[in-house]
């Protein structure tokens, strides 16, 4: 009788353990229709220019129960979009992004600092931009996973932030006019689990 009761208690407990606790590595593919890395850059100290990149791709692999994960994001630099054609053209030249020579910017790293709910606190890795690779740590300020209402697979989304100095990446246009070289990157990403 005690053995039967123990089996029933264990079965009930296992049924109530969150799916997170039973999870393993899950691969998510970045949804390009909902992923638009953006940035803020100074204009002579008098205003802030904002822009985004319209084409990106990548994969994220997570085991939220184990608190591990990797990130690989690629961004097409020629897709830069300030909302002003002349600025877009200027940004694509060799004075800034030099998209003909460096068509892709890339972040590769690991997810760290998972809390008890499976939310990572940061993505630490390497940003490759304008032919230069530098270590960066992105702060993840927003993160959520949920079932996708149409695809019936898990989807996750995040907003990650980091400030870089573009001079470190060989982009000094405007420095002589007093432009601040610091640029804030905001990586908005949504990704859907692979079947």
Q: What is the pLDDT of residues 15-33, one digit of tens each?
A: 444 444 445 899 999 999 9
Residues 33, 56 contacting (CB under 8 angstroms): no
pLDDT at 110 over 50: yes
- Residue 187 tokens, joined: 């990586």
CA neighbor of 156 nearest in space, from 124, 130, 123, 185: 123
Whole-angstrom Cα distance, residue 147 to residue 53? Answer: 27
- Segment (H or E) for 7: helix 2-16
Q: Give the tens place of pLDDT for each residue, 32-69.
A: 999 999 999 999 999 999 999 999 999 999 999 999 99
Query: Alpha carbon of 22 to those of 30, 118, 164, 191: distances in Å?
Result: 24, 12, 38, 21
The string of pLDDT tens digits covering residues 145-193 is 999 998 889 999 999 999 999 999 999 999 999 999 999 999 999 999 9
| Distance from C-alpha of 53 to C-alpha of 77, rounded to nearest angstrom | 7
C-alpha to C-alpha distance for 159 and 119, rounded to whole angstroms: 12
**Structural domains in the chain, sorted by start:** 19-193 (2.40.128.110)
Higher pLDDT, 9 or 53: 53
**Structure confidence at residue 19 (pLDDT):** 45
Give the model's pLDDT for residue 23.
56
Residue 115, pLDDT score: 96
- pLDDT per residue over 89-106, tens digit each? 999 999 999 999 999 999
pLDDT band with cut points at 50, 70 and 90 for residue 13? very low
CA distance 38 to 35: 10
Question: Which tokens hold the place of 116?
Answer: 């008890």
């Amino acid at each position: 009788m005690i053995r039967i009761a123990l089996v029933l208690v264990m079965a009930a407990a296992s049924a109530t353990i969150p799916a997170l606790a039973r999870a393993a590595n899950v691969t998510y593919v970045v949804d390009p229709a909902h992923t638009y890395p953006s940035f803020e850059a100074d204009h002579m100290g008098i205003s802030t220019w904002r822009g985004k990149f319209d084409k990106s791709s990548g994969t994220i692999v997570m085991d939220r129960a184990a608190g591990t994960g990797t990130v690989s994001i690629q961004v097409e630099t020629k897709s830069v979009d300030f909302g002003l054609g002349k600025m877009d053209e200027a940004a694509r030249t060799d004075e800034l992004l030099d998209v003909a020579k460096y068509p892709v910017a890339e972040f590769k790293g690991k997810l760290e600092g998972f809390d008890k709910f499976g939310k990572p606190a940061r993505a630490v890795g390497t940003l490759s931009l304008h032919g230069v690779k530098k270590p960066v740590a992105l702060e993840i300020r927003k993160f959520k996973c949920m079932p996708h209402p149409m695809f019936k697979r898990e989807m996750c989304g995040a907003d990650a932030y980091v400030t870089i100095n573009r001079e470190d990446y060989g982009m000094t246009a405007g420095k002589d006019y007093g432009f601040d070289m610091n640029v804030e990157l905001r990586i908005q990403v949504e990704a859907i689990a692979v079947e």
